[in-house]
Amino acid sequence: MLNLDLSNVAQFLPGGWRTGQEPGLRKAHDYVLGGTGAGGEYTGWVRLPADYDREEFDRIQKAAAKIRSDSKALVVIGIGGSYLGARAVIETLTSNNYNLTHKDGPAVYFAGNGLSADAMNEVIELVKDVDFSVNVISKSGTTTEPAVAFRIFKALLEEKYGKEGAKGRIYATTDAKRGALKGLADKEGYETFVVPDAVGGRYSVLTAVGLLPIAAAGVDIDALMSGAREEMELLAKPGMDNPAWQYAAARHALYDAGKRIEILAGYEPSFRFFGEWWKQLFGESEGKQGKGLFPASVEFTADLHSMGQYIQQGERLMIETVVRFDTARSKITIPDDPENVDGLNFLSGRSLGFVAEQAMRGTILAHVDGGVPNILLTAPARDERSLGGLIYFFEFACGLSGYLLEVNPFDQPGVEAYKNNMYALLGKPGYEAQKAALEKRLDS
């Protein structure tokens, strides 16, 4: 379904680089499929497109239909993997201006992913005078950013609809059995969906974590899962003809050759947030023990007029992965100008898509000539099936890549450092000694 082109990689690597990666990839493949490597208890996403809970999936669709019928807005509260995947899918498949362009169903606002009072108040202003619902997503219910946001929007709902009316507008996606949010949801009678124990946040977009807000935005989640399942079946077959093996092998060989940054580039503005999801996926999975490619993302052609200079002639530390959609959804023809003021009449009658395609092809060649290895990944169309496949492709390749680096691709121990410091400085009980030590450092 996806087409991977590595023709602009080989010239940067020694001969035999593919076969040199094969033993490590075979081991990594077994770890991912069998759940036998480090973090194997979090490989529940591997078979998810085929083995997902059908009963919950049906409830997700019914809840989404209810939200679409009774709400002009949906506030999705979550941080990291609890919101990035949903936002990436919604915007990629609709528009980065979804809340302005959607014709039916609710606007979708994301909160609880930061601590800006201005941003929070903006969402409050956008929803307070319309019918709205809340989907709070947190496995524990105690993560600071989403927990604070949920307090605020829960109070707003209860003030607007009363406690009884509010509970029918709150959907909690959380642990199946335990945690603060699960306890509150059971007590108050919120409809609940499950954050699976065996699926980490950055791999959770194809669970209720991502699927409820995605379905509420009108996306066909059956087709999304179907595309992921097709890719799952393809990538389950070991061997160097496996596209995920090829991508992971190229990344790892280039890393061994001294590359330190991977840029994900897309040519659709709606793809920008997919890049944000991709950055978390690879950054949180590989960035350990002083290892890993630093993931960055750009939107072309816009960023060619800002980041383009550095990509072309800056330090030669980067590789570039370009995602291209083969079929455009719409067409614009460039008109003729009798005066030809801009000198562009050679493009008269051409489609804008044709111009974009040549811009992409020319950019790839320029960057390769400038010393940037280039990987091109083509999806058939900007639709649910293609995007489901693209999500699964990157998830699988990321698992392989982590094991090639000999790190655990499914934990994130470094994330706790900032949390512990924040808890101490906020005065959370049990952090008194750490608070005093940190304040002394800050005062000095």
| Residues labelled catalytic | 284, 305, 419
Cα–Cα dist 408/414, whole Å:
12
Residue 134, beta-bridge partner list: 75, 170
Task: Count other Cβ atoms within 10 Å, centred on residue 116.
Answer: 9
Cα–Cα dist 423/241, whole Å:
48
Q: List the structure tokens of 193.
A: 């969906």
Residue 107, beta-bridge partner list: 73
Eight-state DSSP code of residue 55: H
Contact 368, 322 (CB under 8 A): no
Peptide bond into 327 cis (omega under 30): no
Contact 185, 172 (CB under 8 A): yes
Helix (H) or strand (E) holding 154, with range, is: helix 144-167
Cα–Cα dist 33/40, whole Å:
9
Query: Per-residue b/e over 22-45, b at no fewer than 16 CB within 10 Å?
Result: eebbeebbebbbebebebeebbbb
Cα–Cα dist 62/274, whole Å:
26
For tokens 């010239």, the residue is 11
Eight-state DSSP code of residue 106: -
Report the Cα–Cα distance between both ends of the chain, in Å, rounded: 58
135 CB contacts (<8 Å, ≥6 apart)? 74, 75, 76, 77, 171, 172, 173, 212, 213, 216
| DSSP E strand boundaries for 257-360 | 261-266, 294-299, 318-327
Residue 172, beta-bridge partner list: 136, 192
95 CB contacts (<8 Å, ≥6 apart)? 101, 270
Residue 110, beta-bridge partner list: 76
